[in-house]
Amino acid sequence: MRILLVEDELELARQIANEVRRAGFVVDCASSIASAIEAMEEYPYSLMLLDRRLPDGDAIQIVPKVRLKQPDLRVLVLSALDELDERIRGLDAGADDYLTKPCHLSELMARIRASLRRPGGTALPPVIIGGMSFDLQARTVLINGEPAAFHPRELALLDALIRRVGQFVRRNTLMSEIYGFDDEVQPHALTVLVARVRTRLNGLHAGVDIRSERGVGCMLIKSP
The correct CATH number of 127-222 out of 3.40.718.10, 3.40.50.300, 3.30.1020.10, 1.10.10.10 is: 1.10.10.10
CATH class label, 2-117: alpha beta
pLDDT in tens, 114-150: 888 765 544 456 888 999 999 877 778 999 999 999 9
DSSP the chain: -EEEEE-S-HHHHHHHHHHHHHTT-EEEEESSHHHHHHHHHH---SEEEE-SEETTEEGGGGHHHHHHH-TT-EEEEEES--SHHHHHHHHHTT-SEEEESS--HHHHHHHHHHHHHSTTSS----EEETTEEEETTTTEEEETTEEE---HHHHHHHHHHHTTTTS-B-HHHHHHHHS-TTS---TTHHHHHHHHHHHHHHHTT-SEEEEEETTTEEEEEE--
How confident is the model at residue 114, as a pLDDT? 82
Spell out, as residue ranges, where the chain has pLDDT lower than 50. Answer: 121-123
pTM over 0.75: no
Domain locations in the chain?
2-117, 127-222
